[in-house]
Amino acid sequence: AETDASMEGMSLLDTVRKVKPSILIGLSGCGGLFSADVLKAMGENIKTPVILPLSNPTSRAECSAADAQKYTDGRAIFASGSPFPDVHMLGSLIASSQCNNRYIFPGLALGAALGQTGVVTDAMIQTAAEA
């Protein structure tokens, strides 16, 4: 993980371009946050980007399976918190998995409850990811 105070407030697209992550995990509840440009940048960074829009309901998912595949030329590993149909592309059927977000949120909530934090900050999620 990279720590750089100059990145504070940077847009998601600029962050993806600078950091070049191999995975995007959506927990924002902000439908469409993983825009075409963000997904294209992910596809430029790595051969097989992992895209996990975990927000529910489907209207609040950060992107759709179709967009993840479209903007990464069918190379994304996609799993979401809401069900999306499989994607027909390049003469193939690309499976759209549902990654049940029950594996992340209860653990995150339990940690916050045990720590009596009252809030879950970006730094907490970052630290947990690094652990």
Rounded average pLDDT over 10-36: 93
More confident call, 99 vs 45: 45
Q: Among 54, 65, 34, which Cα is nearest to 104's? A: 54
Rounded average pLDDT over 76-81: 92
Question: Mean pLDDT highest for which of 4-8, 62-66, 87-91?
Answer: 62-66
Cβ-contact 72, 43 below 8 angstroms: yes
DSSP state of 75: -
pLDDT value at 106 more than 70: no
pTM of the predicted model as reported, rounded to 2 decimal places: 0.74
| Residue 1 banded pLDDT, cuts 50, 70, 90 | low
d(CA 123, CA 15): 16
Q: Torsion-angle region of residue 33: left (phi > 0), alpha (psi -120 to 50) or beta?
A: alpha
Q: Which residue has the higher pLDDT, 65 or 110?
A: 65
Q: Mean pLDDT of all residues in the chain?
A: 87
Specify the pLDDT at position 51.
95
What pLDDT sits at residue 33?
A: 96
Phi, psi of 15, deg, nearest 5: -65, -45
